Structure 1
Amino acid sequence: MSWSIPFMPEQASNFAPGVDLLFYALLAFSFGLGLVLTFLVVRYSARYRAGSRADRSGRRARSLRLEIAWTAATVAIAFGLFAWGAVLFVDRNKAPADAIEIAAIGKQWMWKFRHPGGQREINELHVPVGQPVVVSLASQDVIHSFFVPAFRVKQDAVPGRTTRVWFTATKPGRYHLFCAEYCGTQHSGMRGQVIAMQPERYAAWLEARSGGEPLAAAGERLFRSLGCSGCHGAESRIPAPSLEGLYRRPVPLASRRTVIADEAYLRDSILQPQKHIVAGYGAVMPSYDELIDEDELQMIVAYIKSLAEDREP
Structure 2
Amino acid sequence: MNWKKSLGLLALSSTLLLAACGDASQQAEGAEDQVTIGVTQIVEHPSLNAAFEGFQKAIEDAGIDANYQIENAQNDTSANTTIATNLVSAEVDLIFANSTPSAQAVASATSEIPIVFTSVTDAVSAELVQSMESPGGNVTGTVDTQPEAIPSTMKFLKDNLNATSVGMVFNSGEQNSRAQVGRVKEEAAKIGIEIAEASVATSAEVKQATESLIGKVDALYIITDNTVVSALESVISVANDNQLPVMVGEFDSVARGGLGAYGFDYFDIGYEAGEMAAQILSGEKTPADLPVQYPQNVKFVVNKDAADTLGITIDESWNAEIVE
Normalised by the shorter chain, which TM-score bucket? Answer: under 0.3
Larger radius of gyration: 1
Normalising by the residue count of structure 1, what TM-score does the alignment of the two structures yield?
0.24
Structure with the higher helix share, 1 or 2: 2
Normalising by the residue count of structure 2, what TM-score does the alignment of the two structures yield?
0.24
Higher relative contact order (CA 8 A, sep 6+): 2
